[in-house]
Amino acid sequence: MWWRAVSDQIENLATDTQWDQFKTQLKANFQPTNLAETARTRLDKLKQITSVFLYNTAFRELMLELPHMHEEDRIHAYLKGLKPQIASLVAMQRPTTILTAQQMADTADSIQWQHNSRQIQQPRQNPTPQNYKGPSPMELDAISKLTNEERERLRKIGGCFRCRKPGHLARDCTLPNRQNPRINAIDTEADDSGKE
């Protein structure tokens, strides 16, 4: 209906001015009067919440509504809305165009995402010291049959054949054994018979 109303008027103009007049009238009739003002307000509130990709998409849409914005102002507004870690990485490289800044931010975001996802996938492991020589004597699962050398060492210091601590006999040891409560006590009682 709008075109029917203005088509005769535009077609009667000189050919080189028809397109400009068409654009002017189209914007006057269909574009909100405060479009730039609204776009600036939305730009002030725009923040990266999830990925840089989604932030870039929203930012580009706003830039279409602000075609006369200076490039340095675009970069400043763009960096202000990025997450601080990404913004600092991009700002250090001093991009000269908004497109370059967006590419840098997207790359930094991808690298951080890959790094974080790798940390989540790999369960944290307790570091083992390089000079680690097996389980300590008090670890319950570490109780094993004594070697002859270990037996002699424990006899010299008056140590228990179960928990390997001095001060009591294996049959009096309070250390529980989950598999067989009497496993070491039986071995040592036969060997001890007055020797311990």
Residues 168 and 99 in one domain: no
Q: Is residue 134 part of a domain?
A: no
Residues 111 and 157 in one domain: no
Residues 39 and 75 in one domain: yes
CB-based contact 59:81 (threshold 8 Å): yes
Q: Is residue 185 part of a domain?
A: yes
As given in the structure block, the two tokens for residue 191 are 């060997």
- Mean pLDDT along residues 85-113: 92
Q: Is residue 11 part of a domain?
A: no
Point out which residues pair with 159 in neighbouring strands: 166
Q: Is residue 40 part of a domain?
A: yes
Residues 103 and 183 in one domain: no
Dmax (CA) of the chain: 125
Please report the pLDDT score of residue 118 as a whole number.
61
Residues 114 and 48 in one domain: yes
Range of the domain at 105: 30-120
Who's near 129: CB < 8 A, 6+ residues apart? none
Residues 40 and 116 in one domain: yes
Residues 91 and 148 in one domain: no
Q: Does residue 103 or residue 134 have the better pLDDT?
A: 103
Residue with tokens 């970069």: 75
Specify the amino acid at residue 137: P
Residues 187 and 105 in one domain: no
CB-based contact 106:52 (threshold 8 Å): yes
Mean pLDDT value across the chain: 79
Distance CA 112, CA 120 (A): 12
Query: Would the pTM count as exceeding 0.85?
Result: no
Q: Is residue 171 part of a domain?
A: yes
Residues 93 and 145 in one domain: no
Who's near 47: CB < 8 A, 6+ residues apart? 55, 81
Q: Is residue 4 part of a domain?
A: no
Res. 173 pLDDT band, cuts 50 70 90: confident
DSSP line for 117-156: HHHHHS---PPPPTT--S--TT-GGG--PPPHHHHHHHHH
What are the pLDDT digits (tens) for 3-50? 888 888 888 888 888 898 888 888 777 766 677 888 889 999 999 998
CB-based contact 138:162 (threshold 8 Å): no
* Total number of domains in the chain: 2
Specify the amino acid at residue 142: A
Please report the pLDDT score of residue 184 as a whole number.
47
Residues 53 and 100 in one domain: yes
